[in-house]
Amino acid sequence: MNSFDLDQPIIELASPTERNYWTIRHAVEGVQIFGGIGSGKTSGSGRMLALKYLKAGFGGLVLTVKPDEKQSWVEYCQKTGRSNDLIILEPGGRHSFNFLSYESAQSGGASSLTENLVDVLKTVIRAGEQQDKGKGDDPFWETALDMLMFNVIDLCQIAYGKVTVKDLYNVAQTIPKNIEDLKLSSEENAKYFHKAFEAAKERVNQQVEEWYLTLSHEDQERMQDELAMETELLEAIPSARLFRFIDQFFVENFITLTDKTRSIIDFIFSGFLFRLLREPVYSMFCRHELSTVTPEDSLRGKIILINLPVKIYHKVGRDCQILFKYLWQRAMEKRDIGRNDRPVFLWADEAQNFIHEKDADFQATARSSRVSTVYISQNLPNYLASMGGQHGEYKVKSFLGTLATKIFHANADIETNKYASELIGDAFFEDHGDSVTYAKNFSHSHSTSFKLERVVRPEEFVRLRTGGPNNKFFVEGYLHRQGDVIFKGQNHIKMLFQQNYQP
Ligand SMILES: Nc1ncnc2c1ncn2[C@@H]1O[C@H](COP(=O)(O)OP(=O)(O)O)[C@@H](O)[C@H]1O
Ligand SMILES: [Mg+2]
């Protein structure tokens, strides 16, 4: 049943002479809130927008950086009668999400599962690397890492018929260091890798055997020729082909990498898996086969909050939230608006923590899948630090271009203020202080000229009100909509947000 009208107002923009609305249509084109620390992002515009979205029946996903965010959302949901829709995924909580089973169920078969998993894992791992060291642009180790993931996942699938984080970790940890090591596969010193390899080989051989028995007598005769046998069975049995690739990869490519490259890749992949294997995240994302929450719950009006605040759980808190976020984004992209048009939000305060390389692509389709992304962050340099790499500034600005509404609160960051000022743009102002002083003595004619100037100068953002008792709980901010007249013929409006706003 569809019941959400894109023109439904979310925020009223009103003055004594004009009334206009910021609607669901605007919401699903994305929102970026900027402002310095303590400028009123969270308690001013953020809080109000959250309450409005909840009141309007949005589903959503909330990522957390600070430990008090859970409590805020519990209160927001209480105030808007949405408490029953709030699902909190947290350590020791009653919800769990098994991302591997979820992905298996989403994927159409073994090979597409491997592709999907590699895509998800690499997106998460790269986002983490980018945040840590900014080496996310090195194509060589990226490719080597992708190949490693592909082959380890495929090996586990062939050997055990499924993929678990434990198996991936154990296999990745025990890949032989050299060719000698690879051959040492006697029972006693067989490591996990060898066992998986043998198990895979056995499974493939079994399939070969079964296949052979289905052949006619003549064909079996023909198979006496090794080359013919090889060609036909690789054709007939996909896992035999795959196993051949895996074998080739480890023997010819991976084991022969230099120690340094190998140890970087091992370290990144195993380190990532290792963090997932530790509590509390193991129980939340890996231990239980069945998930009690999935991204699709948001489409049914649930608000999923992941209470793994980055301030407390650091890297693993961020990895897990980016992982969930990416799966959630893909689920939203697949939705059928014709059958379910409920708007959903993707909420991230201190959003720079959760940016990944596919975000810009996702934003391009967010509007048509009715996703209102709300990212809150202090300034442009924050984004630059987390998206950085080559052409960092260009990446950040074009990414910000995908969030059509921007709210600028008080800020001391010069770059952000300049950006805000430039976005809002120039207009012609009457210029009174002119150069006619000399002529004035001789003439009565009054000449006016017009001068092109910034409508809001960068330094005006420094002085905006930031809430709290001194400001009577008012937070000021400029709301700007890209390429659109929103109010009084302008693309922006100076607004007051009340910290004690009640829905
Ligand atoms: N619920 C509230 N009521 C009144 N003042 C608040 C409330 N929450 C925060 N403040 C104050 O308002 C200002 C803005 O806070 P906050 O919204 O947390 O800023 P930001 O998210 O931009 O860092 C700060 O001075 C803070 O102490
Ligand atoms: Mg805040």
- CATH number for the domain including 77? 3.40.50.300
Whether residue 249 is found in the same domain as residue 337? no
The residue whose CA is least distant from atom 11 of ligand 1 is: 468
For residues 352 and 336, give the distance between their C-alpha atoms in angstroms, rounded to a whole number. 29
- Do the Cβ atoms of 138 and 178 come closer than 8 Å? no
Q: How far is the CA of 38 from the centre of ligand 2 (A)?
A: 7
Phi, psi at residue 89, to the nearest 5°? -95, 110
Give the ligand with the smallest distance to the CA of 72. Answer: 1
Query: Does residue 226 form part of some domain?
Result: yes
C-alpha 468 – ligand 2 centre gap (Å): 13
For 95, phi then psi, to 5°, come to -110, 150
Q: What is the mean pLDDT of the chain?
A: 90
pLDDT score for 329: 98
Distance CA 118, CA 146 (A): 7
Same domain, residue pair 14 and 115:
no
Q: What is the DSSP letter of 373?
A: E
Cα 465 to averaged position of ligand 1 atoms, centre (Å): 11
- Per the domain annotation, does 2 fall within a domain? no
> Tell me, what's the pLDDT at 445?
46
- What is the atom index within ligand 1 of the atom nearest the CA of 39? 22
Chain centroid to Cα 52, Å, comes to: 23
Summarize pLDDT for 35-59 with one digit per residue, the tens.
999 999 999 999 999 999 999 999 9
Ligand 1 atom nearest to 41, measured from its CA: 22
Q: What is the tally of structural domains in the chain?
A: 2
Predicted pLDDT at 187: 63
Domain end point (choices 277, 312, 329): 277
73 and 47 Cβ atoms separated by less than 8 Å? no
Q: How far is the CA of 400 from the centre of ligand 2 (A)?
A: 19
User: Does residue 327 fall inside a structural domain?
Assistant: yes
What single DSSP character describes residue 492? E
Q: Is residue 375 part of a domain?
A: yes
Residues having C-beta closer than 5 Å to ion ligand 2: 42
Q: What pLDDT shows up at residue 438?
A: 45
Cα-to-centroid distance, 410 and ligand 1 (Å): 12
Does one domain contain both 239 and 372?
no
Residues 222 and 207 in one domain: yes
Specify whether 44 is located in the same domain as 167: no
Are residues 199 and 151 part of one domain?
Answer: yes
Let me know whether 123 and 37 are in one domain. no
Same domain for 242 and 333?
Answer: no
Co-location of 385 and 471 in the same domain? yes
> Using alpha carbons only, what angle is made at residue 301 by residues 117 and 13, rounded to the nearest 5 degrees?
115
Q: Whose C-alpha lies nearest to ligand 1, atom 8?
A: 43
Cα of 379 to ligand 1 centre, how many Å? 17
Q: Which ligand is nearest to the CA of 66?
A: 2
Concatenate the DSSP letters of all residues of 297-316 into one string.
GGGGT-EEEE---HHHHHHH
CA of 468 from ligand 1 middle (Å) equals 6
Q: Which of 43, 71, 352 to mutate to test the pocket of ligand 1 (most atoms within 8 A of CB)?
A: 43
pLDDT of residue 351: 97
Q: Which of 226, 246, 277 is the last residue of a domain?
A: 277
Q: Please tell me the residue having the least CA distance from ligand 1 atom 16.
A: 40
Instruction: Provide the residue range defining the domain that includes 343.
Output: 9-93+298-432+450-498
| 445: in domain | no
Nearest bound ligand to CA 44? 1
Q: What is the pLDDT of residue 188?
A: 64
Instruction: Please give the model's pTM, rounded to 2 decimal places.
Output: 0.92
**Relative to the CA of 376, which ligand 1 atom is closest?**
21
Among the candidates 247, 277, 307, a domain finishes at 277
Residues of the chain with pLDDT below 50 are 1, 134, 136, 433-445
Name the closest ligand to CA 311: 2
Ligand 1 atom closest to the CA of 36, numbered from 1: 22
Q: Give residue ranges with CB within 6 A of ligand 1.
A: 35, 37-44, 466-468, 473, 499
Nearest to 95 by CA among 276, 374, 244, 285: 285
Bridge partners, 476 (sequence order): 496
Number of Cβ within a 10 Å radius of residue 372: 25
Q: Is residue 285 part of a domain?
A: no
> Do residues 118 and 49 share a domain?
no
Asked if the structure places residue 289 within a domain, the reply is no
- Shared domain check, 414 and 355: yes
How far is ligand 1, taken at its centre, from the CA of residue 409, in Å? 12
Q: Is residue 228 part of a domain?
A: yes
Q: Are residues 475 and 357 in the same domain?
A: yes
